[in-house]
Amino acid sequence: SPQWEKRVKYSARPRSGHFSVLVTGAAGFVGSHVSTALRRRGDGVVGLDNFNAYYDPSLKRARQTLLEQNGVFVIEGDINDNHLLKKLFDIVAFTHVMHLAAQAGVRYAMKNPGSYVHSNIAGLVSLFEACKSANPQPSIVWASSSSVYGLNSKVPFSEKDQTDQPASLYAATKKAGEEIAHTYNHIYGLSITGLRFFTVYGPWGRPDMAYFFFTKDMLKGKPISVFQGSNNKSVARDFTYIDDIVKGCLGALDTAEKSTGSGGKKKKDAQLRVFNLGNTSPVPVTKLVSILEKLLKVKAKINVLPLPRNGDVMFTHANISYARKEFGYKPTTDLQMGLQKFVNWYLDYYSISEKKNSW
Ligand code: NAD
């Protein structure tokens, strides 16, 4: 409708000298933070999200409400909807696409493998097709994942390492996405930057991630499960605070070159990059639990279990020197500080002190 078009155009309008960015997965955890940061500095931002029920859709709606208060219009739609994408690129000359929509999480693949293919492979191709045909072609920055390092055991993980042993369907679809990015860059001159995020956490985070459901279960007095390997060591993650990830996303966007193709044809070689965005300091999950115990003032009931073969790897650890060199990426929030901010948000969002009996 004309009203809808007007809202899209208005939301996409940047301050002079700024970008016009389409953010997919805008109602998601990372997408909502990135959209807000872009809007605050003066970029025009249009969000797109299908609001699927992989986790509590009311959390996605709450993020959307906040975004709309900050002047970011979020369209409800799927990245597989070619007509919708074409329409969007017809009415707005987006300079950039920040592609964060995906089926995230590794364990859910056992229940719903098709959703990984739908969003992370078919959806990615649908989006690249729309970008290829757009005039001008936007530069693309998209979320890959540290999970592409899979069962490789050489740490820290560097972008030059092999990524040929995915441990989950999720990892395999992110790896496939990196290969697909290569072909769209090679054939059509799309400028594409992939970001391998390492376990992102923080306020407005994802309820399917351990730090989030540990907090929930510990507050309810329920037991939590901590996995350990055959060497009795607990799983370790390079937990990276959301504000650091946002800075990395903006750094990648700001150093992205223009695409060199037009009308579906490439003119000359376009930029193709992939960066680790991590924290460079892996923390065992047992330590995560002990920090949460202090912050929540609750003693955790811990079940120690052997690591099942369901897609999780033993550890992740980023080498971030490439991102540091290209755009000065430097994470500054340690796990203790970041979890404090998460816990403050959690208690406030779920009104724990006021409504203790009602949840
Ligand atoms: P999220 O699930 O909170 O956000 C993804 C959003 O995309 C959701 O709001 C979802 O509704 C939307 N979406 C999914 N499929 C869609 C589709 N087909 N069409 C339109 N919208 C769709 O996840 P997140 O943690 O914000 O992750 C953002 C990106 O970063 C994802 O690509 C994820 O794979 C990647 N990533 C995240 C982490 C992490 O620790 N959070 C780590 C590595 C990679």
Tell how far the Cα of 61 is from the centroid of ligand 1, in angstroms: 15
Q: Which atom from ligand 1 is nearest to the alpha carbon of 144? A: 44
Q: Looking at ligand 1, which residue's alpha carbon is closest to its atom 44? A: 145
The rounded percent of the chain whose pLDDT value lies above 70 is 97
**pLDDT for position 103:** 98
Q: Looking at ligand 1, which residue's alpha carbon is closest to its atom 19? A: 78
Q: Which of 32, 34, 52 to mutate to test the pocket of ligand 1 (most atoms within 8 A of CB)?
A: 52
The model's pLDDT over 264-298, given as tens digits with 9 standing for 90+, comes to 566 679 999 999 999 999 999 999 999 999 999 99
The model's pLDDT over 279-288, given as tens digits with 9 standing for 90+, comes to 999 999 999 9
Asked if the model's pLDDT at residue 355 lies above 80, the reply is no
The rounded percent of the chain whose pLDDT value lies above 90 is 89
Neighbours of 23 (CB within 10 A): 33
Q: Over the Cα atoms of the chain, what is R_g?
A: 20
Determine whether the shortest distance from the Cβ of 60 to ligand 1 is under 6 A.
yes
For 166-187, what is the mean pLDDT? 97
The counts of H helices and E strands in the chain are 12, 15
Q: Which of 30, 107, 118, 213 to mutate to test the pocket of ligand 1 (most atoms within 8 A of CB)?
A: 30
**pLDDT for position 266:** 65
* Cross-strand partners of 262: 265
73 CB-near residues (< 8 Å, 6+ apart): 7, 8, 10, 11, 46, 47
**pLDDT for position 267:** 65
Cα 66 to Cα 26, 33, 50, 60, 217, distances in angstroms: 11, 10, 17, 10, 27
Q: Please, what sign has the CA dihedral across residues 291, 347, 337, 38?
A: positive
CB-based contact 195:277 (threshold 8 Å): yes
Give the chain's mean pLDDT: 95
- Distance CA(33)–CA(28), nearest Å, equals 9
Q: Which of 193, 200, 212 to mutate to test the pocket of ligand 1 (most atoms within 8 A of CB)?
A: 200
The model's pLDDT over 101-127, given as tens digits with 9 standing for 90+, comes to 999 999 999 999 999 999 999 999 999
For 8-35, what is the mean pLDDT? 98
For 97-103, what is the mean pLDDT? 98
- Whole-structure pTM value: 0.97
Asked if the model's pLDDT at residue 2 lies above 70, the reply is yes
With cut-offs at 50, 70 and 90, classify the pLDDT of residue 352.
confident
**pLDDT for position 354:** 47
What six digits make up the tokens of 36? 């807000």
For 198-222, what is the mean pLDDT? 98
Active site includes 170?
yes
Asked if the model's pLDDT at residue 174 lies above 50, the reply is yes
Determine whether the shortest distance from the Cβ of 51 to ligand 1 is under 6 A.
yes
Q: Which entry of 54, 116, 170, 201 is annotated as an active-site residue?
A: 170
Asked if the model's pLDDT at residue 6 lies above 60, the reply is yes
With cut-offs at 50, 70 and 90, classify the pLDDT of residue 206.
very high
**pLDDT for position 33:** 98
For 244-270, what is the mean pLDDT? 89
Determine whether the shortest distance from the Cβ of 236 to ligand 1 is under 6 A.
no
Tell how far the Cα of 122 is from the centroid of ligand 1, in angstroms: 15
Determine whether the shortest distance from the Cβ of 20 to ligand 1 is under 6 A.
no
With cut-offs at 50, 70 and 90, classify the pLDDT of residue 262.
confident
Helices (H), 156-236: 169-188, 210-219
Tell how far the Cα of 301 is from the centroid of ligand 1, in angstroms: 30
**pLDDT for position 358:** 41
